[in-house]
Amino acid sequence: MGERIRIQTPDGEFSAYVARPKAEKAPAVIVIQEIFGVNQVMRDITDGLAAQGYLAVCPDLFWRIEPDIDITDQSEAEWKRAFELFNAFDTDLGVKDIQATIKAARADRQANGKVGAVGFCLGGKLAYLTATRTDADAAVSYYGVGIETLTAEAEKLTRPLLMHIAEEDAFVPKEAQAIIQQALKDHPQIEIQTYPGRDHAFARVGGEHYHEADAKLAGGRTLQFFQRTIG
């Protein structure tokens, strides 16, 4: 269903997976990867957004480390590699690459100018920073890791952000969740949804903590949010 495009930056170029809607013109959504690269899970999410009427673009944000990473969460060796990539990843450069992706999406022949973003895990953190540092029109963060150290960034946030937080997230402990909630709950642009009993990556199909009902609940909330904010 999808295709590959190349996105230019001052530091070089990288690939992105693109899934196109049937409409001639549509809002775009940038899909921000987990620590496993642009793998089948991310491509399926991208395809799913296209089926909902969005021009969906999933950039290869690990390209500066190694281009075209495509691994799963199904083996110990892949988990080890994923954490190596996570530790080598430069968050600030990643956000700049997301901004380059937003620019490319807006210039696409099918784009109507509106651009949202949705990210998972590492991508959840990056979605939060996309909301605070880029010109995206809206963003959705799924179980972002490390946001508790970045709450001051919300002062720069002027466009809508939806956050999905798993209450039993092993990578975002209760103390971190409390910091996030306290700092962000009264922000006029931020909506926070929490999921009791859910662990990290509860929306990752095929993952250890996948929970179909809450994944569908969060997915429905995400689509309603995008319909409200970018059309």
Q: What is the CATH number of the domain that holds 154?
A: 3.40.50.1820
Q: Per-residue pLDDT tens for 114-132? A: 999 999 999 999 999 999 9
Residue 167 pLDDT grade (very low, low, confident, very high; cuts 50, 70, 90): very high
pLDDT the model gives residue 138: 98
Report how many domains make up the chain.
Answer: 1
Burial zone of 202 (CB within 10 Å; 0-12 exposed, 13-18 middle, 19+ buried):
buried
pLDDT the model gives residue 63: 98
- Please state, rounded to an integer, the average pLDDT across all residues of the chain: 96
Task: Tell me the average pLDDT across 216-220.
Answer: 98
The answer, as to whether pTM is greater than 0.75, is: yes
**Catalytic pick from 169, 199, 211, 214?**
169
Q: Per-residue pLDDT tens for 7-55? A: 999 999 999 999 999 999 999 999 999 999 999 999 999 999 999 999 9
Q: Per-residue pLDDT tens for 51-69? A: 999 999 999 999 999 999 9
Residues of the domain holding 199: 3-229
pLDDT at 109 over 80: yes
Is-contact 162 136, C-beta < 8 A?
no
**Catalytic pick from 47, 164, 199, 200?**
200
Is 200 known to be catalytic? Answer: yes
Residue 1 pLDDT grade (very low, low, confident, very high; cuts 50, 70, 90): low
Is 70 known to be catalytic? Answer: no
Name the packing angle between helices 91-107 and 122-133 (round to 10°): 70
CA-based Rg of the chain, rounded to a whole angstrom? 16
